Structure 1
């Protein structure tokens, strides 16, 4: 579903959005429309129990972005295609995932990627950044 030329003038130009997400809203909308459900396609995402937004909400977001939810980091088959979303309360589990080679980030990273429609694997991983 492409952006119809009539929609373009109505996409907001939000300076705060650009500063926060290092991307413009129009570009994010165009990327999302060009490849719906593709952002996390082929990725397995494990969401720790204590994250915010709640696990249920993040599960819906990940699924909408094309990701496959796995319930336990122990069942990782391909660490390079697995993302573990954690918070400080889940540090022990996050460290286990990190040792397995799983990408480990906080929910802020995930939400930022969703808002930009780009995965940022150059960002500091969650357990490493603490």
Structure 2
């Protein structure tokens, strides 16, 4: 891996994600929901954060398993919101050849200081061995 994985490291969305009718309609089409249900948009931010961590070379792109997630929502996203996220590695555990990460994703709407949602996830992957 390109960078050492350490507790406290962070990954941010490279750009804000606009909550617009196209994004909402895309989720509605896939999930069979309505165009006025915007909660799935939060997963778009979470996915971008995971991609950012993988592209950094710190987290492997192959064999990564998402084992658990909990999300607390202060308010639902709204049309017109511009969302960004910050993923923080909270704990790293090595056991039986696997690395487990507990990460926190703070999802913030532009212009607000408090996150609109906070997700805590556990990720696992095989611990890399030497070169």
Task: Quickly name the TM-score band, shorter chain normalised.
Answer: under 0.3
Would you tell me which structure has more strand in proportion to its own residues?
2
* TM-score (ref. length: structure 1): 0.26
Would you tell me which structure has more helix in proportion to its own residues?
1
* TM-score (ref. length: structure 2): 0.25
Asked which structure has the greater RCO (Cα within 8 Å, sep 6+), the reply is 2
